[in-house]
Structure 1
Amino acid sequence: MMIEGGQDEVPPLPSGERVAAKRPGEGASPTHPTKRKAGATARARELRFDETKAEYRLWGELQGRHLNGYKFVRQVPLGPFFADFLCREKSLIVEIDGSQHAESLTDESRTTWLNRNGYSVLRFWNQEVLAERRAVLDTILAVLEGQIHSPSPGLRFAPATLSPTGRGEGER
């Protein structure tokens, strides 16, 4: 049955109640890391508004393709997490960490999840960004251009274990 405006009407249930029609895939939990969860966009906006001084300074260097033409976005929801900065073209996440992240088991499992979903993760301390911004930018650029591709101690750089195409490393 069609109603004015061209939308399908859901027939009433025997009790007279109506059920909202669902689009394909609607109502299911996100299966892909880029599927948005309810409230994720609002939370990302809050994180962008409440940025740290280090995030503010680094964003000034990354926005508008200032780093050799690479495009970055910030506070991007990915699965259950938010990436501080993301270069989608290279599937690189740059995280800026405060002291609360020292020896964090949560960060380790988060990095593992992101790696398995095709993202490489590069981490810096707030103080590194504030005191040595040029070195931080050089390191980010080296990863983007493939000059750094091996994991580093302490998960400072963790390359993806799954390519964005869904194939593991070494599979072609």
Structure 2
Amino acid sequence: MENERPPMYTGYNRALKEKARELRKNMTKQERHLWYDFLRYRQENWKRQRAIDGYIVDFFCYSARLVIELDGSQHYTEEGEEYDSIRTEVLERYQLEVMRFLNSEVDRNFDYVCLAIEEKVRERTGSPF
């Protein structure tokens, strides 16, 4: 149907609950840095390793409908890029926006990554971060 609105994200995939829990326990160095040194203490309610549809995203903010993905080298193979493209399309069907950062960006330019996230949250919510 032409006038049909895309579904709004309303929950998460419970079938991936255990895998998400395992990923939270074994976060990468960059995920730990972003979580413990920035996202965890923000007024927005951020979740880490959140299962959405058939995927587990690195970080998710419901109020901003924003997904943050930290990408290692495996994401820049032909297969990885194709997988990420499909994954992004699926997430966008839920009116979610996906921001991607290289692990090296988190390592070398953490302030830039944080500022970019703050600006995107402000843009999507209309409120200060």
TM bin, normalised by shorter chain, reads 0.7 to 0.9
- Of residues 41, 47, 52, the one that matches 2:28 is 52
Aligned AA for 1:93? Answer: V
In structure 1, the gaps of 5 or more residues are 1-31, 148-172
Larger gyration radius, structure 1 or structure 2: 1
- Of residues 22, 42, 47, the one that matches 1:73 is 47
Q: How big is each residue's C-alpha offset from its partner over 1:52-87, in whole Å with a ceiling of 9 and x where there is no partner?
A: 10000000111032xxx2221100000100110011
Other structure's SS at 2:13 match: coil
1:33, CA displacement in angstroms? 6.6
TM-score, normalised via structure 2 length: 0.81
- Of residues 40, 62, 81, the one that matches 2:39 is 62
Q: How does 1:1-172 map to 2 (within 5 A)?
A: 34-38=11-15, 40-60=16-36, 61-65=38-42, 69-102=43-76, 103=78, 104-146=81-123
Alignment RMSD, CA only? 1.6
TM-score, normalised via structure 1 length: 0.61
Aligned length: 112
**Identical aligned residues as a percent:** 35
TM superposition outliers: structure 1 runs of 4+ over 4 Å: none
- Whether the 8 Å CA contact 1:75–1:85 is kept in 2: the answer is yes
Structure with the bigger percentage of helix:
2
Alignment correspondent of 1:14: none
Higher relative contact order (CA 8 A, sep 6+): 2
**Residues of 2 paired with 1:64 and 1:49: CA distance?**
19
In structure 2, the gaps of 5 or more residues are 1-8, 125-129
